[in-house]
Amino acid sequence: MVGVDRIYVAFDIETTGLDPDRDAIIEIGAVRFKDHTPLATWESLVNPQRPIPYKITLLTGITQEDANSAPSLTALLSPLCDFVRDYPVVGHNIGFDLSFLRRHGVLTHNLALDTFELASILVPKASRYNLDVLASKLGITLPVRHRALADALAAKDLFLALRDLAMEMDFDALQEINRIGVRADWPLRFFFSDIARERARGAFSGASIRRQLVAKGELDDAAMGLVLGDRIRERPLEPRVPPEPVDVEALASMLSPGGLMEREFPGYEHREQQVEMLRLVGRAFNEGQQLLVEAGTGTGKSIAYLIPAIYFAVQNNEHVVISTNTINLQDQLYNKDIPDLQRILPLDFRATLLKGRGNYLCLRRFALFRRQATLSPTEIQVLAKVLAWLPTTDTGDRAELMLVKDEPVVWNQLQAEADLCLGDHCPHRIEGRCFFARARRRAEAAHLIIVNHALLLSDMVTENRVLPEYRYLIVDEAHHLEDQATEQLSFSVDEVGLRALLSALSSDAGRHGFFAEIPVHFRASSVEPAVQRQLGSLLDQMRGEVDRASTALTELFEHLGLFLDEQTEKSEGETYDRQIRLNSAIRIQPDWSDVEMLWGNLDVPLSRLERGLSNLYEGFTSLADADILDYDVLLQDTLSYLRRITEIRESMNAILAEPDEQGIYWASISTTDNSITLHAAPLHVGEVLRKNLFDKRRCVILTSATLRTGEDFRYLRERLSLQEAEEAAVGSPFDYLSSTLLYLPTDIPEPGQQYYQKKVEQTLIELCRAIGGRTLVLFTSYGQLNECYRAISRPLEEAGIVVYAQGIDGSRRQLLDNFKSTPKAVLLGTRSFWEGIDVVGEALSCLVIVRLPFSVPTDPIFAARSEGFEDPFREYSVPETVLRFRQGFGRLIRSRTDRGVVVVLDKRLQSKSYGPTFLKSLPECTLRRGTLAELPSLAAEWINNRDLVLPSEKIFAEEDDRWMY
């Protein structure tokens, strides 16, 4: 059905939007082809009988006038079906196209082959999977984009290129995909079965990639022979004692005028602030300091800490761990900065990227998963991706795979997990095939180990079970460390999750689950029959406890739901989960005692299960020589279930019955299905970080562009328990006074006051019209973002300005790409856009901060921590918000040549006594206060006239008592 002699129809549509229930088709294009020969084409514009959004016209070139004279979709369905017939249809994200047509009852039975899904299998490690990127990677020319026939022709060429790649696949992997694919209604099974038949004819079955690699000694003869051999030969580092200091001034000279960086990088700009930071970091390494160093935007802080870290690590044979919060910064360090330095520095050093276990494929779990009797189409899709990827991956890192929709859930069943790891007893580790063990060996031999905060903190909790022993630590993006520590030390459980765990132990009257599998391990063992009968009796008892726990679980969550409903009122149109703190005020309610009683009813069978699993584990450990089938697997699975039951029971007991004074406890109720999740988090993380992370290192450097609130580090010191750390603030090399106009409207109402939202909308329309878009608008809630989007889109489109909105117009990356590439564009974003985005140049010339980013006062963690301050608003809420505000402000100026306007539409910055704290935390800008009416023309003049200089107003007048605390 899908062989080289088949006829296919490549197909594409253009639409007014992304929702098949609300949007309409405006163009259809199709090409019928056989092998590389086009047989016929068909195309037509379609009258959508509704307005075409301006952004669609801009994207496709299709105007309203073009579409109005076109036939209706109803008139085109019959000729379209005549053209397509019953041939398989091919397209990029073909499901999207067919969703518009199948609503009209056409093409419902045609086999659909998605080139996106095929590419995600056959082109692992691609940077992106849109049509443009894949076409470029595979040598396909795209003369026109976003027209239906042109995209259909491109989809044809992409399909043929992918088919050629499939013909070159490892034959064993291809056969395994075939074997698995026939088990479910997986559309691509026909494609791979035809490829396998073609290969079996002999034309392509000679020297497969796998066989070539085997011949070169680069493949292990196991795991289907698909795993690259372990080529790591470096020895673990053995530190020099005592450490030898680096020559800080010699390192500083590399960044000085005429130094190494200037010689090696054309256009390199000397920055005194970068040299200053390098000296600070170098001295911290030499003297074993804790150092807080804030480095303004444009400092080049990564190079400033990498150079001394590299030289100190190599000179002393030490590991330096560098932790980041975002993937973007991690990628920049590992894929750009470090390779650049490896190329130019006159010394050899090794660097590696180490991730948490869940990022690595576990070959043992993968083999078990492949043997399952029934698999869903999604599970088969993931297995096909892994099978095609294995012969090419050296890391086993899931980041090299494109996992979409529900596929990450499937990955969870394949990933490495500490509780399920057989350790040194695993044959894959023994033979050097274990991907996580390989990554750990690379880390043991590396001078620089790049990690993220989550892994850094997970390693802290597990007492260095992931990272090799290290004494030197750099924490970049350190302003996120408290939040990440809170997340790592938190716990949550819901009824569905706990019931799934119970079902995994025993389900269907004890016929399935872990307890039912245990006797299978003993069938051919030398364990005496009497002992096996005792085991059977214990398992029967534990099955009974699972049944009792399941009943008690239902009763507990049913009653808890009724209790929580009485404590809160559900609002009409509510979009956020309700959160109820389980504090003393809640626990003294009369009905809470029933919750505690019902928890006790659940705790009893859980306790018995815990003891039973403990007894099983102890008993199994004494039977190592009894020829038990998969003994190590049985032992590890038992320990894993024991740990999970123990953690859940202890945490739920703290949440519902015996709360700790240092804990925060709450319940959340889902707006979608009213399901309840119980949560626990630590009240303070600073002392945990100090004792278990900072104090155990000889040198710790924490850096970020935003560490100070106002003009000092007091807030962050207190949150992270870093009272003894040295501190330094390295300013930005950017001239904000001449590049940045900070405008504060004097006549806008405060948030929540009458006409505030109306004024925001009017201001955005007039401002963006005046400067031709080029604006990023930062919100603190999706609700206000959506309201503004509805109000400003049409007026701005009439002025030729496109409005893109988070949650409406695609992914974060798509939004940024569209914003950068569209000459007149406005981008509306919420919390994730306040940091980590980098738009250099005129595409971003204006930044609007709609509201100050205060935390929601009712957030359980924020509310609980606020109670620890005498003046929680000024001592906790304001400093926390200042850091977020500074991050948002930092989105505008990203290079020396950038110029723009920052507008803050929150009057509280001027009317409240905390205003100067925010303003003084910013670099020195040209500050102007004025009316909303004055803003558009002044902003346009500032942006368009780079020579314009304005006098800057003072942050506050000395005699103005409003600003005094």
Helix axes 481-488 and 453-461, enclosed angle (nearest 10): 50
* pLDDT score of 852: 97
In the sheet with 320-324, reading across from the earlier edge strand, the strands are 351-353, 448-452, 320-324, 472-475, 699-704, 290-295, 726-730
Contact 663, 682 (CB under 8 A): yes
CA neighbor of 650 nearest in space, from 932, 642, 185: 642
Least confident segment among 42-56, 279-293, 566-580, 866-880: 566-580
Rounded average pLDDT over 520-544? 92
Report which residue type is found at 303.
I
Whether residue 225 is predicted with pLDDT greater than 60 in this model: the reply is no
Contact 900, 846 (CB under 8 A): yes
Q: What pTM, to 2 d.p., does this model score?
A: 0.90
Cis? peptide before 242, omega within 30° of 0: yes
Least confident segment among 27-41, 391-405, 945-959: 945-959
Say how far apart CA 768 and CA 522 lie, in whole Å. Answer: 74
Residue 490 burial by CB count (10 A; 0-12/13-18/19+): exposed, middle or buried? middle
> Where do we find the tokens 């930044």?
847
* pLDDT score of 964: 32
* pLDDT score of 370: 87
How many CA atoms lie less than 13 Å away from 717 in the CB half-sphere?
A: 15
Report which residue type is found at 607.
S
Whether residue 111 is predicted with pLDDT greater than 90 in this model: the reply is yes
* pLDDT score of 630: 86
* pLDDT score of 3: 55
Q: Which token pair is 880?
A: 């926390």
Rounded average pLDDT over 173-186? 85
Query: Exposure pattern of 564-598 as b/e (b: 16+ CB <10 Å)?
Result: beebeeeeeeeeeebbbbbbeebeeeeebebbeeb
> Where do we find the tokens 């948002």?
888
Rounded average pLDDT over 739-757? 96
Residue 97: pLDDT band (50, 70, 90) is very high
What SS3 class is residue 878? helix
Say how far apart CA 639 and CA 616 lie, in whole Å. Answer: 9
For the chain, percent of residues with pLDDT exceeding 70: 95
Contact 166, 122 (CB under 8 A): yes
Contact 847, 891 (CB under 8 A): yes
In the sheet with 491-494, reading across from the earlier edge strand, the strands are 491-494, 676-682, 663-669, 578-581
> Where do we find the tokens 């359980």?
860
* pLDDT score of 200: 81
CA dihedral of 512, 514, 516, 519, whole degrees rounded to 10: 150
Scanning 622-701, the segments in alpha helix (DSSP H) are 631-656, 686-689
* pLDDT score of 228: 65
CA neighbor of 324 nearest in space, from 299, 305, 345, 311: 305
Residue 211: pLDDT band (50, 70, 90) is low
Say how far apart CA 353 and CA 335 lie, in whole Å. Answer: 10
Greatest mean pLDDT among 264-268, 562-566, 903-907: 903-907
Contact 468, 443 (CB under 8 A): yes
* pLDDT score of 962: 40
Rounded average pLDDT over 21-25? 93
Beta-strand relationship, 25-34 and 7-15: antiparallel
* pLDDT score of 959: 38
Helix axes 495-505 and 514-522, enclosed angle (nearest 10): 20
Residue 469, φ and ψ in degrees, nearest 5: -60, 130
Contact 792, 765 (CB under 8 A): yes
Instruction: Identify the H or E element spanning 324.
Output: strand 320-324
Whether residue 67 is predicted with pLDDT greater than 90 in this model: the reply is yes
Rounded average pLDDT over 540-546? 95
Residue 199: pLDDT band (50, 70, 90) is confident
Residue 614, φ and ψ in degrees, nearest 5: -65, -45
Rounded average pLDDT over 417-428? 81
Say how far apart CA 447 and CA 470 lie, in whole Å. Answer: 10
* pLDDT score of 572: 54
Say how far apart CA 688 and CA 489 lie, in whole Å. Answer: 10
CA neighbor of 152 nearest in space, from 110, 96, 90: 90
Contact 905, 849 (CB under 8 A): yes
* pLDDT score of 202: 63
C-alpha pair distances (Å), 562 with each of 274, 597, 842: 59, 15, 55
DSSP 855: P
Q: Which token pair is 746?
A: 């004097």
For the chain, what percentages of helix, strand and coil (3-state, to nearest 5) are there? 50, 15, 35
* pLDDT score of 422: 81
C-alpha pair distances (Å), 332 with each of 128, 166, 251, 357, 690: 17, 32, 22, 22, 28
Say how far apart CA 473 and CA 479 lie, in whole Å. Answer: 15
* pLDDT score of 425: 79
Greatest mean pLDDT among 15-19, 50-54, 473-477: 473-477
Q: Which token pair is 477?
A: 């993006």
C-alpha pair distances (Å), 222 with each of 225, 229, 401, 431, 630: 5, 10, 22, 9, 18
Mean pLDDT estimate for the chain: 91
3-class secondary structure for 411-427?
Answer: HCCCECCHHHCCHHHCH
Greatest mean pLDDT among 175-189, 333-347, 797-811: 333-347
Rounded average pLDDT over 857-877? 95
Residue 574: pLDDT band (50, 70, 90) is low
* pLDDT score of 965: 28
Residue 205: pLDDT band (50, 70, 90) is very low
DSSP 748: P
Rounded average pLDDT over 494-521? 91
Residue 446: pLDDT band (50, 70, 90) is very high
Say how far apart CA 617 and CA 634 lie, in whole Å. Answer: 9
Rounded average pLDDT over 154-166? 95
Whether residue 197 is predicted with pLDDT greater than 80 in this model: the reply is yes
pLDDT tens track for 297-318 = 999 999 999 999 999 999 999 9
* pLDDT score of 216: 47
Least confident segment among 11-20, 218-227, 407-416: 218-227
Contact 355, 459 (CB under 8 A): no
Q: Which residue has the higher pLDDT, 267 or 791?
A: 791
Whether residue 154 is predicted with pLDDT greater than 50 in this model: the reply is yes
* pLDDT score of 100: 94
